[in-house]
Amino acid sequence: MAHGLVRRESVDTEMHKSGDKRKTFVFTKKRGYDVTRNPHLNKGMAFTLEERLQLGTHGLLPPCFISQDVQVMRVHKNYAMRKDDLDRYVFLMALQDRNEKLFYRVLLSDIERFMPIIYTPTVGLACQQYGLIFSRPRGLFVTIHDRGHIATILQNWPEKDIKAVCVTDGERILGLGDLGCNGMGIPVGKLALYTACGGMPPQQCLPVLLDVGTDNETLLKDPLYIGLRHKRIRGQAYDELLDEFMKAVSDRYGMDCLIQFEDFANVNAFRLLSKYRNKYCTFNDDIQGTAAVAVAGLLASLRITKSKMCDHTIVFQGAGEAAMGIAELITMAMEKEGLPKDECIKKIWMVDSKGLIVKGRDNLTHEKERFAHEHPPMKSLEDVVKELKPTAIIGVAAVAGAFTEQIIRDMASFNERPIIFALSNPTSKAECTAEQCYTLTEGRGIFASGSPFDPVTLPDGRTLYPGQGNNAYIFPGVGLGVIACTVRHIGEDIFLTAAEALAQLVTEKDLDEGRLYPSLCSIGEVSFKLAVQIMEYAYKHNQATLRPEPSDKEAFVRSLTYSTDYDEFVVDSYRWPEDSVTVQSCKL
């Protein structure tokens, strides 16, 4: 064996169990600067003296030995010095590029503090400024001009054991519209949460941007834009790109590789989900992930209102991907309570940019037609709420302020506990604020939002903590569960199972404080419990293909999860002569 360490080039590890604690030994052929420049291997000043000697990094690092805990403290101090959220985002992404284990240890040290930076709402601002802050490529960029060569491009990705792919074409980034190639920030952020919240090893995650151009004229004229400088290609060429991409991913990484669609425009999202869902292991997070987290919030609300789902009448502000996904899952929940499907659908109303969706209205899509009811046309959401007197309103159209003071007061006038979900992202697109909801309903409103809001103290002294209906409560757990038992096709029943499991984790104390979701600081354990529930469901309904079935599913899922503890580098029989180097060091 050559002196130094031996290891395959992708971050493969050999596991050695010591007592009850797993210890990971890493073998690598890299030496010197290549080690300290590799985010998967780099431990900064936490390398031991023996590792530094064997890896050829002795002298390339300061002589002090610093523990990971001290490194976390240093990151926190540096983070506190950043002037705004975009600066904080850039700082954290630079850490991810430099030292992956430390990056995730930092996130987990205060996930409630850091999630709004690496995910919504700050990731939206980061995507808008992506050309400016771009410094190091992360993920795979596939363009419309790469048709016929996607399999070759996938060969360029260094990791071979990919379990989860998150892909976007950048056409509908959050509520911000077409950001083209700048949309890469979304799959990068989503997969960071797969690791931070779901424990998925980051080397098994692949972010992908499909660049087919952009219709955003501002970006096309921006000299800092990083994508193709032409209008979006649509039609047959677009479909051929997607078909080739899906096949290439499955050919390289297996049919059980999870492919998550993210932030595709309505015109493509529904049809692509319908086209691929029974052929590949795939789901659309904007349709199905949003649906699950919203329905989980509604299920938790039922414990406050002391009612069943089928007792409610629900009005949606918006009729796009999120609205349709939530409505579909609500009907499934109502059906489960025993209400016939056609009666379930009658309890759901939708308002889009043209007003109330009713039968006979021109140019309704197939999805909208399903929720069109017999009723005179109405233009105003305020009039719709007054007329239909819903028990719940859900905003998913990214129309800031759509829930006006009049609407909120009306909801409070005919409901003892009105349900008001302002789910649009980022915060600037929210239909109303938590303060508006709680204040105008005199603290009786049951509120959830897509982006975080600060606690609200009412005149009577009560402090309410608004629930954040964050998809991060759902997709990491679903992904972990599906991958753990190799579910090949992800049905809506998986997402209803996840929604029910999430709602069950909300405590009475959470509900008393206004929360409809568990605390974000427990999101890792939430994802773990969802994954186990999904495994149980998948095996019970013959959807899991992993055999034999694990007898202890909790232990099995835990065995798959990523550790942020630094790995140990295994040294060979080669040793430096004891008298060849004299090192003075301090150990913290």
Q: Which residues are catalytic?
A: 119, 190
Residue recorded with tokens 């013959």:
542
* Residues counted in the chain: 588
Query: CA angle, 422 as apex, 418 and 428 as ends, to 5°?
Result: 145
- Tell me phi and psi for residue 61, to 5 degrees: -125, 150
- Tell me phi and psi for residue 51, to 5 degrees: -65, -40
* Alpha carbons 76 and 102: distance in angstroms, whole number: 12
DSSP E strand boundaries for 277-362: 282-284, 314-317, 348-352, 355-356
* Alpha carbons 143 and 79: distance in angstroms, whole number: 35
CB of 259 within 8 A of CB of 167?
Answer: yes
Beta bridge partner(s), residue 464: 456
189, 245, 468 from 121: Cα distances, Å: 11, 29, 12
Question: Which residues are CB-neighbours of 125 under 8 A, at least 6 positions away?
Answer: 85, 86, 89, 426
CB of 265 within 8 A of CB of 469?
Answer: no
* Alpha carbons 29 and 345: distance in angstroms, whole number: 60
How many angstroms from the chain centroid is the CA of residue 414?
Answer: 36
Question: Which residues are CB-neighbours of 141 under 8 A, at least 6 positions away?
Answer: 181, 184, 208, 209, 211
* Alpha carbons 204 and 146: distance in angstroms, whole number: 24
Neighbours of 481 (CB within 10 A): 31
Helix (H) or strand (E) holding 24: strand 21-26
- Pairing relationship of beta strands 21-26 and 392-395 according to DSSP bridges: unpaired
